[in-house]
Amino acid sequence: MLADLFDEAKRVGRIKEELDSEFLSRVVISSVEGALLICKASKDLDSFKKTAEALKRVVCPPVS
């Protein structure tokens, strides 16, 4: 389902066309699951926020 959303984002120009949607969806899910595990263990929400920001930069890098 997430890969389909990335495919749609590529179609409308929100993310780069050359990104592999299936690979990207696996990276996002794995990162979120890892961040949740760390967040629960450390009881530190900031670690989850940092992961979310990193994923945002990977998927939608700032335009220079």
* Assigned domain for 39 exists: yes
pTM, rounded to two decimals? 0.76
Per-residue H/E/C for 1-64: CHHHHHHHHHHCCCCCCCCCHHHHHHHHHHHHHHHHHHHHHHCCHHHHHHHHHHHHHHHCCCCC
CB atoms within 10 A of CB 7: 14
Is residue 8 in a domain? no
In a domain, 12, yes or no: no
Please count the structural domains in the chain: 1
Residue 49: domain span:
18-57
pLDDT, tens digit, 9 for 90 and up, residues 8-51: 999 998 888 888 999 999 999 999 999 999 888 988 888 888 88
Q: Is residue 29 part of a domain?
A: yes
